[in-house]
Amino acid sequence: MKKYRKTWAAACIVTFSLVGCGGGGSDAGTGVNTTGMATSSAALISTLVTLPIESLSETEQNSLVFMREEEKLAHDVYIQMDGLWRGYTKVFGNIANSEASHTESVRQLLVRYTLPDPAATLGAGVFLNTTLQNLYTQLVATGSVSLVEGLKVGATIEEVDMIDLNKALTEVDNQDITLVYQNLLKGSRNHLRAFVNALAAQGVVYVPQYMALADYLAIVNAPMER
């Protein structure tokens, strides 16, 4: 879990260093499917039941627990941003719906492996992981400053999600976990594209905070994935 905490601890610092500007505008240039799930929840669950339930390493268990709350964090932040900025953009609401599917897909893995669900009884904006709890508060505060700051927060979340997922994929080998993580990764690529497009509609060029520039450009210059 240390590696995840370090990633998000650094994200806290960068989030507060983002420079805000602008606020109005519309979804010009973002009229694309931003739901981000490569496979619908129902289809994904149907596929999961065809795969074997394999033994779990401690690393895999920790990863699933963390990913459940990390996806919840993205969802809960976007719900807050949608409440603030939906009059200007639909991107937060669209992606929040996708994140609900993302966190559900991880929950299904917890069910399959009879692992406790850290988010089972938690309300919106509440997390067992104290790093994520603190980060949620910080991200919402930053994203509440302006529409542009909110969009930058969204792009930053998706960057870090992809870094965590790519790292996790090197440490897990169960077929069902790999399938779900790859699906989440595809969704995050779509989400990043959507936030970058929304920022462009505000006249803002997003600069990646964590990803290598070449990796970032390869994603945002590619079309939305289905």
Condensed to tens digits (0 to 9), the pLDDT of residues 188-205 reads 999 999 999 999 999 999
Which residue is associated with the tokens 């807050």? 80
In a domain, 49, yes or no: no
* Residues ≥6 apart with Cβ < 8 Å to 170: none
pLDDT given at position 31 = 38
In a domain, 23, yes or no: no
Contact criterion met (CB below 8 Å) for 113 and 54: no
Name the least confident of 27-36, 84-93, 132-141, 159-168. 27-36
pLDDT given at position 52 = 86
Q: What is the mean pLDDT of the chain?
A: 85
In a domain, 51, yes or no: no
How many CB atoms lie under 10 A from the CB of residue 37? 22
In a domain, 149, yes or no: yes
170 vs 161: CA distance, rounded Å: 15
Name the least confident of 16-30, 34-48, 57-71. 16-30
* Residues ≥6 apart with Cβ < 8 Å to 92: 78, 79, 81, 82, 85, 86, 150, 154
Residue 24 pLDDT > 70: no
124 vs 53: CA distance, rounded Å: 31
Tokens, residue 95: 């992606």
Using the 8-state DSSP alphabet, how is residue 50 labeled?
T
**Region 147-172: what's the mean pLDDT?**
97
Residue 16 pLDDT > 70: no
Confidence of residue 226 (pLDDT cuts 50, 70, 90): confident
55 vs 15: CA distance, rounded Å: 38
Instruction: Residue 99: give the domain boundaries.
Output: 2-12+34-44+56-220
Using the 8-state DSSP alphabet, how is residue 119 labeled?
T
Q: Residue 160 maps to which CATH number? A: 1.20.1260.10
Residue 26 pLDDT > 60: no
206 vs 21: CA distance, rounded Å: 12
Confidence of residue 131 (pLDDT cuts 50, 70, 90): very high
Number of domains in the chain: 1
Q: What percent of the chain has pLDDT over 90?
A: 73
In a domain, 226, yes or no: no
pLDDT given at position 101 = 87
**Region 107-118: what's the mean pLDDT?**
94
| Tens-digit pLDDT profile for residues 46-102 | 888 888 899 999 999 999 999 999 999 999 999 999 999 999 999 999 999 988 888
**Region 163-183: what's the mean pLDDT?**
96
In a domain, 22, yes or no: no
Q: Identify which of 183, 186, 124, 190 has the alpha carbon closest to the alpha carbon of residue 154.
A: 190
In a domain, 186, yes or no: yes
Residue 162 pLDDT > 60: yes
Residue 11 pLDDT > 60: no
pLDDT given at position 41 = 67
Tokens, residue 48: 């999961």
In a domain, 19, yes or no: no
Give CA torsion, residues 81, 107, 41, 174, to 10 deg.
120
Which residue is associated with the tokens 């010009």? 28
Q: What is the pTM of this model?
A: 0.83
